[in-house]
Structure 1
Amino acid sequence: MTDRPHVTAVMVSSLDGAVHADGGSQGLSTDADRVLFRSLRRAAEVVLVGAGTVRAENYRGIRPRRPSADDPQPGPPPPVAVVTGSAGLDPASRLFTDTVAAPLVLTTAAAPAARRDAIAAAGGEVVVLGDLSPATVLGALAARGYRQVLCEGGPTLLGDLVAADAVDELRLTLVPLLVGGPAARIAAGPDAVVPPHRMRLAGHEAAVDGTLLLRYLRDRPAGSVTTAVTPPNE
């Protein structure tokens, strides 16, 4: 057993493997994908995302949890935790101005102090870590009591988690589109994982529009997170 949090990754892809269309992942999203996204956020304790995705998607902060038949009195929503080596986030962006929970900005002492100060002044909680390897990042979240982590990408962050064998569950949405071009895949890194980490299909659902919702779980005991990953410099 491992004492790190359980990590669920949620990604959307075209049939030919693209994670972007029309400039961002929103160009791929369907009604079924948005319903899944909201349900996963309701179950998460913290949302983990890379700074590149925050900037590219103009990430909004967390909205209040709405009551539902299954959860008439929902608890507080999960904060967004952003991984950034450079602390290169816009303090005037929606991440800080349109949220009900202060975002966590996970960075290092190498990030410019002026940027860290500006983030703190905008209401973000700056968490300075020794490095941004998956082991350190997940350890910092576990130390704050977060046991269920929802990783929303992007490909570089997910690639680091894959390389560190730190993905317990993958929720992959395939949308009925062919995009072509040079669009990235859902996980990216300098080196392929050898041997590949095997996952097992734990569930699937097809929507009326052709969207396919897939759920995969790790097909092996959870292990310790490795640290042999180059920290992002975003």
Structure 2
Amino acid sequence: MTPIRRLLPDPGHPLDDEALRACYAYERPTLRMNFVSSADGAATVGGRSGPLGGPGDKRIFDLLRAGCDALLVGANTVRTEHYDALRPDPEWRTANGLTAYPLMAILSRSLNLDPDQAIFTDAPRPPIVFTAEGAGRFPAELVTVGDLAQVTDELNRRGAEHILCEGGPSLFGQLIAADLVDELCLTISPWLAGGEPGRIATGPPAEAREMSLRHLLTDGDQLFLRYARKQVLVDKPVDNH
């Protein structure tokens, strides 16, 4: 197990899985973003985010997936990152009052998706695809939406109060512009990527919103930050786990 430690608040010993889950515990219905970035702000290396990760990032990535009700991603992320079927620790989930598998939700206006990709063919729980009206046919449940608020409303209606979004950057930017982002979990990797990799959020102009740092964790030279809306901290005192 990679030795992730807490730097802020209350620096301490390496965190076991239970303590690490407590660091990322949901406090209310939440749309949470999870991203990785190089130290100089690149969202990808060689066109993919995977090379920026590491053992600690993978451990947190898996725990965040295991604790969510729904995983929301854009179609380009599904294609680029070669998404597999979603199976995050079903035994732990059912033991903790969750469905065995989270709901997989994909946003795609054009339905430019491969129906033979394992995310569809090997899925233990059928994914849903949010798309524009008249986009066509696809061998998965299609839900027509007009904006991102309708996406989150529909997921909430289906019982998904805790939504984890893994991007990509265009979807993140749109969610910021729509003021739907409650949290950002950000891994900063000790790499200088240079070149022209984009930011973790791109899209339409948006009002700048100040967030509050909930914690800072570390695994060697890699940092893990959790930011939340400031009003969440005002509404409820912070649990320093």
User: What TM-score bracket applies, with the shorter chain setting the length?
Assistant: 0.7 to 0.9
The TM-score with structure 2 as length reference comes to 0.79
Segments of 5+ residues of structure 1 without an aligned counterpart are 223-234
Q: 1:7-45, CA deviations, whole angstroms, 9 ceiling, x for partnerless residues?
A: 010000000111111220111111111100111111100
2:162 is aligned with 1:148: yes
2:51 corresponding residue in structure 1: 27
Query: How far is the alpha carbon of 1:109 from its aligned partner?
Result: 1.9
> Aligned AA for 1:91?
P
Aligned to 2:226: 215
Aligned to 1:127: 143
| Aligned Cα root-mean-square deviation (Å) | 2.3
- Write the letter of the residue equivalent to 1:137: V
Cα distance in 2 between the residues matched to 1:149 and 1:64: 14
Match of 2:34 in 1: 10
Change (3 A) 1:72 1:49: closer
Report how far residue 5 of structure 1 moved. Answer: 4.5
2:69 alignment partner in structure 1: 45
Q: Secondary structure of the residue that 2:109 maps to in structure 1? A: coil
Offset at residue 64 of structure 1 (A): 5.1
For these two proteins, the number of residue pairs brought into alignment is 206
Which whole-Å deviations, capped at 9, do the CAs of 1:188-218 have from their partners, x for residues lacking one? 0132x23x1100100011112x110001111
**1:75-108: CA deviation from partner (whole Å, max 9, x where unpaired):** 4110210001111111011221232121111112
Q: Which amino acid aligns with 2:200?
A: I
Aligned to 1:198: 210
Of 167, 184, 187, which aligns to 2:201?
Answer: 187
Aligned with 1:220: secondary structure? helix
What percent of counterpart residues are identical?
40
Counterpart selection for 1:83 from 107, 130, 148: 107
Q: Deviations over 1:167-204 (max 9, x none)?
A: 1111000011110111011110132x23x110010001
Aligned-partner residue type, residue 46 of structure 2: D
Is structure 2 residue 52 aligned with structure 1 residue 36? no
| Partner in structure 1 of residue 190 of structure 2 | 176
Instruction: Say which SS state the counterpart of residue 231 (structure 2) adopts.
Output: coil
CA displacement at 1:221 relative to structure 2: 5.8
Contact in 2 for aligned 1:18/1:180 (Cα 8 Å)? yes
Q: Which amino acid aligns with 2:213?
A: L
1:33/1:186 Cα in 2 relative to 1: closer, same or farther (>3 Å)?
same
Is the contact between residue 16 and residue 179 of structure 1 (CA under 8 Å) also seen in structure 2? Answer: yes
Could you tell me which amino acid in structure 1 is paired with residue 170 of structure 2? Answer: T
Partner of 1:137: 151
1:126 partner amino acid: L
SS in 2 for 1:197: coil
Q: Which runs of 5+ in 2 are unaligned?
A: 1-27, 234-241
User: Which amino acid is the alignment partner of residue 57 of structure 2?
Assistant: D
* Partner SS, residue 143 of structure 2: strand
1:165 CA drift (Å): 1.1
> Does the 8 Å contact 1:7/1:148 carry over to 2?
yes
Does residue 189 of structure 2 align to residue 165 of structure 1? Answer: no
2-structure distance, mates of 1:93, 1:66: 21
Cα distance in 1 for residues equivalent to 2:129 and 2:96: 31
Partner of 2:4: none
What's the TM-score, normalizing by structure 1? 0.82
Q: Secondary structure at the match of 1:33?
A: helix
